């Protein structure tokens, strides 16, 4: 991928996509195509086909998806299944029809079995039952991985799945019902501090652990992968992961934190000094999903933003 390569960032207004666009621009990539949702609905087969025929991008970052936290996934399973299957199927198939050179398909750590050995290696894919609260989303993403693998095998395409851990960063979704945990806690503690509240109520037991990757780090990792030499990039497509062979690579920090300790960290940084209550009627979800990122580290990339620094940045951004 060169400075003048024609790049399409699908989902450029989202948390991941906006970070990709920001970092691509900063790195001097200027020939970038983006379409807002009202300009192009990627669920619309004909509109997506016409877009690709007209624009003919050379590289595609597929960050467009229907995403959300544990409550949203648990409440709208049909939306999470249908919208993600539709978007990825249209973009991957039309990338093939229009000779896209490389496509990076963004997935998430929930594709792995809920009882995976930790940290989770890419080869653990399909090795056990999924976490119930987000299985429709996970099955949709697993289908996207299978689609990339099938097109690579049959048509010699170069499509790679980038499996990201939990994300946070500028432009996150702060909706308390449908957002992710990091955004929810940032908002809850910021508002509690501002309103001099004496109690903050969080979900679950506080025992689950999560790994949090700053969105700009994800973007840098994705651009690092898309600018790998042909030899290195192609080796990720044919990688034989134990008895399985799927074109995926994990992107994470290699460290996780309990929700309880995360709440203490955010309370401290936000200056909130009241009580924290854990509402056990709300789901915990999977207890742990720490990614093994050796494959990415061996290629020469590792994340830079430590969680306290990332939380400070996001809190500042939220309160701006
Ligand atoms: O980010 P999150 O909503 O989803 O995190 P997952 C849920 C965890 O944080 C659970 C706890 O253990 C919740 O009990 N939690 C505590 C809270 N307080 C809150 C709160 O106020 N809001 C939220 N949202 N959680 C998602 C998948 O799983 O991970 C997605 O559903 C995607 O599909 C994403 O894969 C990366 O981390 O459990």
Pocket test for ligand 1, best of 180, 211, 276, 289 (most atoms within 8 A of CB): 180
Report whether CATH 3.40.50.720 matches the domain 7-170+211-253+290-305. Answer: yes
Domain boundaries, the chain: 7-170+211-253+290-305
Query: How many CA atoms, within 13 angstroms, populate the side-chain half-sphere of residue 120?
Result: 33
SS3 129: coil
Is the pLDDT confidence value at 185 over 60?
yes
**Rounded to two decimals, what is the model's pTM?**
0.97
Is the pLDDT confidence value at 241 over 80?
no
Is the pLDDT confidence value at 166 over 70?
yes
Atom of ligand 1 lying closest to residue 68 CA = 30
Pocket test for ligand 1, best of 70, 72, 132, 141 (most atoms within 8 A of CB): 70
The lowest-confidence range among 48-57, 82-91, 181-190, 232-241 is 232-241
Is the pLDDT confidence value at 240 over 80?
no
The average pLDDT across 220-237 equals 96
CA proximity to 210, closest of 82, 119, 122: 119
The average pLDDT across 80-93 equals 98
Is the pLDDT confidence value at 158 over 90?
yes
Q: How much is the pLDDT for 224?
A: 98
CB 178 within 8 A of CB 69: yes
List, in sequence order, the alpha helices (H) in 6-134.
15-26, 45-55, 70-75, 77-97
Q: How much is the pLDDT for 21?
A: 98
What is the C-alpha to C-alpha distance for residues 106 and 92, in angstroms, rounded to an integer?
12
Is the pLDDT confidence value at 288 over 70?
yes
Q: How much is the pLDDT for 320?
A: 85
Helix axes 77-97, 45-55, angle to 10 degrees: 30
Tell me the Cα Rg of the chain.
19
């Amino acid at each position: 991928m060169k400075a003048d390569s024609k790049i399409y960032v699908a989902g450029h207004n989202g948390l991941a996509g906006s970070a990709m666009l920001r970092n691509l621009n900063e790195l001097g990539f200027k020939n970038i195509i983006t379409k807002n949702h009202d300009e192009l609905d990627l669920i619309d087969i004909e509109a997506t086909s016409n877009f690709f025929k007209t624009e003919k991008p050379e590289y595609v970052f597929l960050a467009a998806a229907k995403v959300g936290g544990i409550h949203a996934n648990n409440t709208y399973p049909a939306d999470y299944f249908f919208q993600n299957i539709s978007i990825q199927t249209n973009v991957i198939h039309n990338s093939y029809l229009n000779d896209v050179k490389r496509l990076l398909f963004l997935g998430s750590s929930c594709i792995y079995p809920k009882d995976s050995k930790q940290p989770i290696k890419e080869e653990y894919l399909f090795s056990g039952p999924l976490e119930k609260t987000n299985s429709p989303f996970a099955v949709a993403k697993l289908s996207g991985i299978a689609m990339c693998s099938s097109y690579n095998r049959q048509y010699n395409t170069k499509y790679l799945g980038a499996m990201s851990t939990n994300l946070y960063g500028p432009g996150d979704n702060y909706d308390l019902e449908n957002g992710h945990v990091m955004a929810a806690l940032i908002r809850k503690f910021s508002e509690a501090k501002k309103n001099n509240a004496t109690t903050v109520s969080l979900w679950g037991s506080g025992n689950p652990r999560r790994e949090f990757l700053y969105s700009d780090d994800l973007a840098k990792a994705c651009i690092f992968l898309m600018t790998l030499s042909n030899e290195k990039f192609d080796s990720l497509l044919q990688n034989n992961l134990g008895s399985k062979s799927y074109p995926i690579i994990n992107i994470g920090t290699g460290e996780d934190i309990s929700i309880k300790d995360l709440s203490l960290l955010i309370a401290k940084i936000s200056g909130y000094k009241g009580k924290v209550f854990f509402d056990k009627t709300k789901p915990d979800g999977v207890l742990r999903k720490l990614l093994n990122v050796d494959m990415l580290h061996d290629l020469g990339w590792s994340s830079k933003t430590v969680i306290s620094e990332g939380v400070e940045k996001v809190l500042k951004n939220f309160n701006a």
